[in-house]
């Protein structure tokens, strides 16, 4: 009988624990403001993508390289897509605010000569600054939205604390088991 009670207690406890699932941060950039060699990009294109981790980054996550904790990613600029398996993230740094929202980032994804880049605050050398280097190369397309890079959203749970209904269920189960134990002990 004690084994049944312990099994039931364990099941009630596990039922009330929050489930841990991967956390995905989704980035949506703004339309490109600057285009060089406009054959590939338009002002309707923008950078978008996702970063997936085993758990939320947390509140006040300091600006650091996330390559070692990054489970998967996928970023597109409307022309090309870089994702887990077809390229390696060259540089991925992020920072979160006191609420766990990504507010600072520096991301570069590359494959051969192609790349996708986004940052906030904007990098010192924007596409306009780099355009001089590539102005004589008609096969190179560059675009950016330096003045308004975009925003992040997350599917991270708001609070990792168990819901009150789960705690109430656990408490009711424990009280029921205590009552059963007292009744059984009183019969002896």
**Average pLDDT, 10 consecutive residues per value, the chain (188 residues):** 57 53 94 77 91 94 93 92 82 93 90 82 59 55 76 79 58 65 63
Core vs surface per residue 106-143: b (16+ CB within 10 A) or e? bbbbeeeeeebbbbbeebeebbeebbeeeeeeeebbbb
- Report pLDDT for 158: 63
Does residue 175 sit within a domain? no
pTM: 0.68
- Report pLDDT for 21: 81
Does residue 1 sit within a domain? no
Structural domain containing residue 65: 18-157
Does residue 72 sit within a domain? yes
- Report pLDDT for 173: 65
């Amino acid at each position: 009988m004690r084994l049944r009670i312990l099994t039931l207690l364990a099941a009630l406890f596990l039922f009330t624990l929050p489930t841990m699932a991967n956390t995905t941060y989704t980035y949506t950039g703004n339309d490109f403001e600057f285009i060089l060699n406009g054959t590939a990009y338009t002002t309707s294109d923008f950078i978008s993508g996702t970063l997936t981790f085993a758990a939320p980054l947390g509140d006040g996550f300091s600006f650091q390289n996330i390559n070692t904790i990054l489970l998967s990613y996928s970023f597109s600029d409307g022309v090309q897509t870089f994702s887990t398996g077809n390229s390696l993230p060259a540089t991925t740094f992020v920072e979160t605010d006191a609420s766990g929202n990504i507010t600072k980032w520096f991301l570069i994804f590359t494959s051969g000569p192609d790349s996708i880049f986004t940052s906030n605050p904007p990098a010192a050398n924007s596409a306009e600054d780099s355009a001089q280097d590539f102005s004589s190369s008609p096969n190179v397309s560059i675009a950016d939205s330096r003045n308004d890079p975009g925003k992040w959203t997350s599917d991270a749970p708001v609070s990792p604390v168990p819901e009150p209904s789960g705690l109430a269920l656990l408490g009711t189960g424990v009280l029921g088991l205590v009552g059963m134990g007292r009744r059984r002990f009183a019969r002896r």
